[in-house]
């Protein structure tokens, strides 16, 4: 095996010096109820990529800016032409989970659902192909955007100015995988919360309009 001595300054400059990796802690993710399983055992990473010009017309493109932090709501995703995407991009399809490896503390994780059957996305996403018979995509999406996962991965990110998590570290991370019936109950509750959140967002927009209408009356 080839080796070479790397200076401390060199590690700092490339953003690979992480003191926490050299300290033994008890901060690993644990579950008192369910077995911990490496993420790579329940999903596969999809690395398929394509040139925009190969799509034969308009296609959906998802950039980091199109994913809402924490909630993972899609934001302003639209059909684009090949000329609007400048470089080779990763390919996604419905059912994939897109994990933003750049600035993981933003917690941008998207579950691709209708109407986005397939398309291209930023190479800053790690694309996970999920087997629903093992882990429910909705459960996994919310798990990957949780504070626990983000805190764990923050210790593994590299790069000072543009911190990133590698797919290797992401897939090696152990996660709790409850039985399917438990996952289903969790997903049902998550959907209820999502519906309530969207309802409150709609109400907030109405209040904003009411506020503006009230002010207009003084002119």
Cβ neighbours of 83 (radius 10 Å): 8
Give, for 210, the enclosing helix (H) or strand (E): helix 180-216
DSSP per residue, 140-162: HHHHHTSHHHHHHHHTT-B-SSS
129 DSSP β-pair partners: 44
pLDDT at 90: 98
Along the 219 residues of the chain, how does pLDDT read in single tens digits?
A: 555 665 545 544 555 545 444 433 445 677 768 989 999 999 999 999 999 999 989 999 999 999 999 999 999 999 999 999 999 999 999 999 999 999 999 999 999 999 999 999 999 999 999 999 999 999 999 999 999 999 999 999 888 889 999 999 999 999 999 999 999 999 999 999 999 999 999 999 999 998 998 888 888
pLDDT for position 21: 44
pLDDT for residue 145: 97
What does pTM read for this prediction? 0.81
**Longest pairwise C-alpha distance within the chain:** 78
Closest by Cα among 1, 57, 17, 3 to 156: 17
pLDDT at 22: 42
Q: Cβ(130)–Cβ(87) under 8 Å? A: no
Token duo for residue 74: 């899609």
Would you state the pLDDT for residue 33? 86
| pLDDT score at 215 | 87
Are the CB atoms for 104 and 110 separated by under 8 Å? no
């Amino acid at each position: 095996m080839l080796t070479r001595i790397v200076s401390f300054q060199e590690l700092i400059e490339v953003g690979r010096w992480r003191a926490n990796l050299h300290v033994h802690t008890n901060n690993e993710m644990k579950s008192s109820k369910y077995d911990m399983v490496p993420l790579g055992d329940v999903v596969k990473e999809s690395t398929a990529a394509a040139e925009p010009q190969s799509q034969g017309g308009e296609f959906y493109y998802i950039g980091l800016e199109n994913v809402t932090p924490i909630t993972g709501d899609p934001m302003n995703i639209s059909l684009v032409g090949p000329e609007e995407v400048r470089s080779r991009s990763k390919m996604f399809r419905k059912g994939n989970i897109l994990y933003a490896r750049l600035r993981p503390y933003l917690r941008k994780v998207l579950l691709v659902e209708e109407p986005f059957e397939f398309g291209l996305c930023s190479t800053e996403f790690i694309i996970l192909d999920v087997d629903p018979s093992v882990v429910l995509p909705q459960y996994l999406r919310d798990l990957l955007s949780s504070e626990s996962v983000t805190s764990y991965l923050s210790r593994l990110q590299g790069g000072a100015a543009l911190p990133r998590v590698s797919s290797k570290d992401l897939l090696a991370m152990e996660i709790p995988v409850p039985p399917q019936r438990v996952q289903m109950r969790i997903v049902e509750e998550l959907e209820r919360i999502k519906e309530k959140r969207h309802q409150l967002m709609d109400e907030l927009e109405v209040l904003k309009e009411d506020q503006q209408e009230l002010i207009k009356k003084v002119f």
